[in-house]
Structure 1
Amino acid sequence: MARILAIDYGTKRSGIAITDELQIIASGLTTVNTIDLISFLQTYLSKESVELFVIGEPKQMNNTASESEISIQEFIKKLRKEIPSIPIERVDERFTSKMAFQTMIDSGLNKSKRKNKALIDEISATIILQSYLQSK
């Protein structure tokens, strides 16, 4: 089986998580400057087999799309154009940043490391991917 790759898309940087080849475990991979995201994915795909992209879907509490959905839709159009062979699924990403921050606290990271927004994005992508795996 090929891996599943999740993206916690942000306008400045995007967190990326990946499954193992059996699609059992979600692990944080990295955080990438969003401007470099497509080229990062193309490079990654030249080395690893990925069968699905999972992209977080930010929603308001009333279940409507958040403001950031506009930029995510633009990214998805570009991603489909550049890498049309890999399907995309969306996963509700409400509270993933708060859950990521709590994960950092629970794992004993000190206050200065918890301020690392890139790490929060990577953990958020992992939570998005884990949520997808659990829904399968």
Structure 2
Amino acid sequence: MGRIIAIDYGTKRTGIAVTDELQIIASGLTTVDTKTLIPFLKEYIQKEKVEAMVIGEPKRMNNEASDVEADILRFRESVLKTFPDLKIIRQDERFTSKMAFQTMIDSGIGKKKRKNKALVDQISATIILQDYLYNK
């Protein structure tokens, strides 16, 4: 069995989370500059067996796609060209940033670290992946 990688895509930076090889536990991996996302994924997928990618699907409350969806679709196409055998899954990501911030508060992370948006993106990716694992 391979890992599942999750992407909380942003136009500036992207949060990344992965499962263990048994696909039981979701853990935050890192946050990368979105410009370097495909090279990062190439390097990671070369080292680790990755079976699927879960990409967050940002929606508005009325179920319409958010403004960043066009960028995400372009990213998805790049992933499909670069990794043709990789299964791509979309997962609703509404409220993940708020949940990530609350998780930081609940974990006792100080106010200064909670301002670290890269950490929020990484936790958001983990929440997206946990939701996928829970509902699959």
TM, length-normalised to structure 2: 0.99
- Once the two structures are TM-superposed, the CA of residue 35 in structure 1 deviates from its matched residue by 0.4
Match of 1:11 in 2: 11
Secondary structure, counterpart of 2:61 in structure 1: coil
Q: CA-atom RMSD, angstroms?
A: 0.5
Match of 2:107 in 1: 107
**1: CA distance between counterparts of 2:44 and 2:12?**
20
**2: CA distance between counterparts of 1:95 and 1:51?**
26
Match of 1:62 in 2: 62
**2: CA distance between counterparts of 1:20 and 1:76?**
23
Match of 2:132 in 1: 132
Corresponding residue pairs, total: 136
Residue ranges of structure 1 left out of the alignment (5+ in a row): none
Secondary structure, counterpart of 1:112 in structure 2: helix
Residue ranges of structure 2 left out of the alignment (5+ in a row): none
**2: CA distance between counterparts of 1:88 and 1:129?**
13
**1: CA distance between counterparts of 2:10 and 2:72?**
8
TM, length-normalised to structure 1: 0.99
**2: CA distance between counterparts of 1:87 and 1:13?**
23
Is 1:53 aligned to residue 53 of structure 2?
yes
Give 4+ residue runs of structure 1 displaced > 6 Å after superposition: none
2:115 aligned partner, one-letter code:
K
